[in-house]
């Protein structure tokens, strides 16, 4: 089969990655014609209302007449209009020659997306595209009420859009009828496999009818996608747009090298320099996202955060705030930002170097969409420079511009340029304005009025950060050549007029200087030399700061004095009282120079004995008695006493013969032990404790009984304890 493709369309294998035999290939042809006339009449009206004058390359390619009934594997960059593309190509499969849909007894098309936000975006695009055709769409995504979705499916829907997990749940419960499906479209197929949805996708595709059309759209085509295509598609045609060879031509890539300690400060300067209407900052973890969100909020930016822990309602509110201008910056993770559609997104900042080329392309693809221009800025520490170079080379990005982050001086110059550009000097002055100008000129000079105007313009903007050079860290040789007295982590500030702050964490909250110091430097914007003594007591921590860094610290933490999470700071007047007693420690009154108590030692004052004299002054006489050593006493001289005789005295004492004998365990007159009394466990009756409840058998006894049962012993065996004679295994070694 030979056919001609539309403008800038190439159905060939990628260099170094030959296609297998099952992928249909076609020679490349470039022509000026367009396939917009091949759009189904029911959808052409919607495109006209939306203002479409020409289609994007990927939309134009899938409308080739020879591809109308083919399974497709479409590879196109993010933001190229893939959603509208698979809506256009599936129209002929769903409608045929009809101009509108008939009654929907069961879904005719199924669209699968990796995230809730992307699925809802796909649904919105298909809603306006198939509106004039009378199509009913339904969504099945995680985080939404499943009963509402089940009701929408029971009322009938022509097109169903959902996430893999929720679609599998509906299939298992029987609420999603797959018997009449004619087409299945997978959007961001590579990302779904990366997120671990392979099993769910296989279950969905396995439950669909054999005679169907399968469309896979993906920004990249790894080997896993090719494997799924071979298994679930028939004679698939792989479609590549020629524009894919030059990735994201509408995106300007900037790589900014900064010191490791200044990464967040560099992000603040980048946001200030570009002053984009909408910007997104990507973090690797939720912890990093939460930390940057709080830091940027304290610096005066209107920020929203997106992470996997948010509910669907919270995500929708955050994105709506970005769309209507209530928020300027969005801090998000990779997974949470999947499928974001922000029309005015002009700036993408990578707080860390992305892990692979796919992550870089997907992140950067949030901007520069539909012909708009955008900037993608990578914040790179000197130690990650080689990783960034390798990443850009693998992604095929050769036009990246290397440099340093914007300095404070360049940001001020940029602000002045924007101020002059945004001034409205061409409009006609009204009478009301002329009257107000006259009053101002009468009260103040023109210079003072212009100064007030400039100050008012800069009032709501965050002050730029002073950044250290990217390579400020001295080399190893330089550190070794220093004098030992000069080797220090940095210049120490003067703490003669130091200011003390109190933090609401102490020893009970496991406060330690090893994490308090980095927290103050990162969230408080302090330098190591500006932090003095750190004193930790039970429920508080006192920190001394140099006067030079106090104003910057207060500006970073904001008016609520919140540093991180639930940790807050408060200013202490003068020096804190560190002598307050702490729980769990004895309060001792100690001397300043030694650890001894202030009480006088025992030898300072002689103890008075009164009339008594020391033992050594006089020997005690023995009287008539003689010391033991004078005469040895024989035991034979001692009179023998009979136990039957009663001792003399007022009180009669009981003789040993009258005392009752202690109960013996042996039978009388023999050394044979008495038989043990039967207990409750021996008689089969439960024994009761002091509280009247039956006693539970000991766990060792239960374990012994279970072991005997496993060996096949009878139930009666082992019930009285012990081991049956002859049954014990001999442990002696044979001679």
566 exposure class (CB count in 10 Å sphere: 0-12, 13-18, 19+) = exposed
pLDDT of residue 670: 57
How far apart are alpha carbons 465 and 151 in whole angstroms? 55
For the chain, the helix, strand and coil percentages under 3-state DSSP, each to the nearest 5: 35, 15, 50
Reduced to 3 states (helix: H, G, I; strand: E, B; else coil), residue 451 is helix
Predicted pLDDT of residue 501: 92
Element (H, E) at 704: helix 699-710
Q: Are the C-beta atoms of 300 and 435 separated by less than 8 Å?
A: no
Task: Determine the pLDDT at residue 603.
Answer: 46
503, 567 in Cβ contact below 8 A? yes
> Within 324-429, where are the H helices?
357-364, 385-394, 408-421
Number of H helices and E strands in the chain, helices first, is 22, 20
Contact 67, 237 (CB under 8 A): yes
pLDDT at position 590, please? 42
For residue 634, give the H/E element and its range.
none
- Sort strands 109-112 and 159-162 into parallel, antiparallel or unpaired: parallel
Could you tell me which of 306, 304, 364 has the C-alpha nearest to residue 335? Answer: 306
- Return the DSSP state at 29: -
Question: Can you list the alpha helix ranges (DSSP code H) found in 142-300?
Answer: 146-155, 164-173, 189-194, 198-207, 223-232, 263-274, 286-298
H-helix or E-strand containing 453?
helix 446-459
Q: Which two tokens stand for residue 563?
A: 């540093």
Determine the pLDDT at residue 100: 86
- The label of the residue with tokens 């959808």 reads 43
Query: Please, are residues 271 and 301 in contact by the beta-carbon 8 Å criterion?
Result: yes
Which residues have CB under 8 Å from 5's CB, separation 6+?
A: 11, 26, 28, 29, 61, 64
Supply the DSSP string of 213-227, one letter for each residue: EEEEEESS--HHHHH
Which domains does the chain possess?
A: 9-245 (3.40.50.300), 251-410 (3.40.50.300), 489-572 (3.30.70.330)
For residue 33, the model assigns a pLDDT of 39
DSSP per residue, 93-143: HHHTT-SS----SS-SEEEE-SSHHHHHHHHHHHHHHSTTTT--EEEE-TT
Greatest alpha-carbon pair distance for the chain in Å reads 143
Tell me the mean pLDDT per 10 residues along the chain, length 735. 33 38 37 61 84 80 83 77 85 85 88 86 89 90 88 92 92 91 88 81 90 85 78 84 55 90 90 91 87 87 84 81 88 74 85 86 77 86 90 87 90 88 77 89 90 84 83 49 44 73 90 87 85 90 90 86 85 79 45 45 50 53 53 52 50 51 56 60 59 72 80 56 53 59
Are the beta carbons of 336 and 366 closer than 8 angstroms? no
> What is the chain's length?
735
Q: Return d(Cα 560, Cα 83) in angstroms, integer.
A: 44
H or E element, residue 159: strand 159-162
Asked if 13 contacts 239 with a C-beta cutoff of 8 angstroms, the reply is: no
**Beta carbons of 201 and 111 less than 8 angstroms apart:** no
pLDDT of 191 reads: 77
Q: Are 538 and 568 in contact (CB under 8 A)?
A: no
For 597, residues 6+ apart whose C-beta sits below 8 A from its C-beta are 588, 589, 590, 591
Question: Residue 546 has which token pair?
Answer: 């140099």
CB 568 within 8 A of CB 562: yes
Predicted structure pTM score: 0.51
159-162 and 137-140: which strand pairing? Answer: parallel
The pair of three-digit structure tokens given for residue 380, joined into one six-digit string: 């790179």
Q: Give dist(CA 217, CA 237) in Å, integer.
A: 12
Exposed (0-12), middle (13-18) or buried (19+): which is 117, by Cβ within 10 Å? buried
């Amino acid at each position: 089969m030979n056919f001609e493709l539309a403008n800038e369309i190439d159905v060939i294998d990628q260099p170094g990655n030959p296609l297998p035999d099952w992928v249909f290939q076609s020679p490349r042809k470039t022509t000026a014609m367009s396939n917009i006339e091949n759009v189904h009449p029911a959808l052409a009206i919607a495109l006209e209302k939306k203002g479409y004058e020409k289609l994007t390359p990927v939309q134009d390619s899938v409308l080739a007449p020879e591809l109308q009934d083919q399974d497709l594997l479409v590879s196109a960059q993010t933001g190229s209009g893939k959603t509208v593309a698979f809506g256009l190509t599936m129209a002929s499969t769903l409608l045929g020659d009809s101009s509108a849909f008939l009654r929907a007894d069961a879904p005719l098309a199924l669209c699968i997306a990796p995230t809730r936000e992307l699925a809802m975006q796909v649904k919105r695009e298909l809603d306006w595209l198939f509106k004039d055709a009378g199509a009913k769409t339904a969504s099945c995504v995680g985080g939404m009420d499943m009963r509402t979705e089940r009701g929408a499916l029971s009322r009938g829907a022509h097109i169903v859009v959902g996430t893999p997990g929720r679609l599998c749940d509906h299939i298992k419960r029987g609420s999603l009828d797959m018997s009449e499906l004619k087409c299945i479209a997978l959007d961001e197929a590579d990302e779904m496999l990366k997120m671990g949805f392979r099993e769910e996708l296989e279950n969905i595709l396995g439950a669909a009818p054999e005679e169907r059309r399968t469309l896979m759209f993906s920004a990249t085509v790894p080997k896993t996608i090719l494997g799924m295509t071979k298994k679930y598609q028939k004679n698939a045609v792989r479609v590549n747009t020629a524009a894919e060879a030059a990735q994201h031509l509408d995106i300007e890539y900037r790589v900014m090298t900064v010191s490791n300690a200044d990464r967040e400060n560099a992000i603040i300067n980048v946001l200030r320099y570009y002053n984009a209407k909408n910007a997104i900052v990507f973090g690797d973890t939720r912890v990093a996202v939460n930390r940057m969100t709080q830091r940027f909020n304290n610096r005066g930016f209107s920020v929203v955060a997106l992470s996997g822990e948010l509910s669907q309602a919270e995500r929708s509110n955050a994105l709506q705030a970005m769309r209507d201008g209530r928020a300027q910056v969005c801090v998000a993770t990779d997974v949470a930002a999947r499928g974001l559609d922000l029309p005015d997104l002009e700036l993408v900042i990578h707080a860390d170097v992305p892990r692979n080329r796919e992550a870089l392309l997907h992140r950067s693809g949030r901007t520069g969409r539909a012909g708009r221009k955008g900037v993608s800025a990578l914040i790179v520490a000197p130690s990650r420079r080689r990783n960034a170079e390798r990443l850009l080379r693998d992604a095929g990005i050769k036009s990246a511009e290397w440099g340093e982050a914007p300095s404070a001086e360049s940001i001020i110059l940029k602000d002045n340029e924007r101020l002059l550009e945004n001034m409205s000097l061409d409009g006609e002055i009204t009478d009301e304005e002329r009257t107000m100008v006259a009053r101002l000129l009468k009260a103040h000079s023109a210079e003072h009025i212009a100064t007030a105007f400039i100050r008012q313009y800069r009032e709501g903007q965050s002050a730029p950060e002073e950044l250290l050079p990217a390579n400020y860290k001295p080399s190893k040789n330089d550190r070794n050549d220093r004098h030992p007295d000069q080797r220090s982590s940095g210049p120490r500030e003067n703490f003669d007029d130091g200011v003390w702050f109190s933090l609401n964490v102490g020893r009970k909250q496991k406060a330690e200087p090893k994490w308090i110091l980095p927290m103050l430097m990162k969230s408080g914007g302090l330098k190591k030399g500006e932090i003095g003594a750190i004193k930790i007591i039970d429920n508080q921590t006192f920190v001394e700061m140099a006067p030079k860094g106090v104003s910057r610290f207060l500006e970073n933490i904001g008016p609520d004095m919140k540093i991180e999470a639930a940790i807050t700071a408060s200013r202490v007047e003068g020096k804190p009282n560190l002598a307050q007693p702490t729980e769990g420690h004895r309060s001792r009154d100690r001397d300043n120079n030694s650890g001894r108590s202030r009480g006088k030692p025992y030898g300072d004052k002689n103890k008075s004995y009164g009339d008594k004299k020391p033992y050594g002054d006089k020997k005690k006489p023995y009287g008539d008695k003689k010391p033991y050593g004078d005469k040895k006493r024989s035991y034979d001289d001692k009179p023998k006493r009979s136990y039957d005789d009663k001792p003399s005295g007022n009180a009669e004492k009981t003789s040993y013969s009258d005392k009752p004998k202690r109960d013996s365990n042996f039978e009388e007159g023999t050394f044979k032990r008495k038989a043990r009394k039967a207990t409750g466990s021996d008689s089969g009756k439960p024994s009761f404790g002091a509280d009247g409840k039956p006693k539970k058998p000991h766990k060792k006894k239960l374990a012994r009984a279970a072991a005997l049962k496993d060996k096949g012993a009878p139930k009666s065996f082992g019930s009285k304890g012990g081991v049956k004679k002859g049954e014990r295994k001999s442990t002696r070694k044979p001679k």
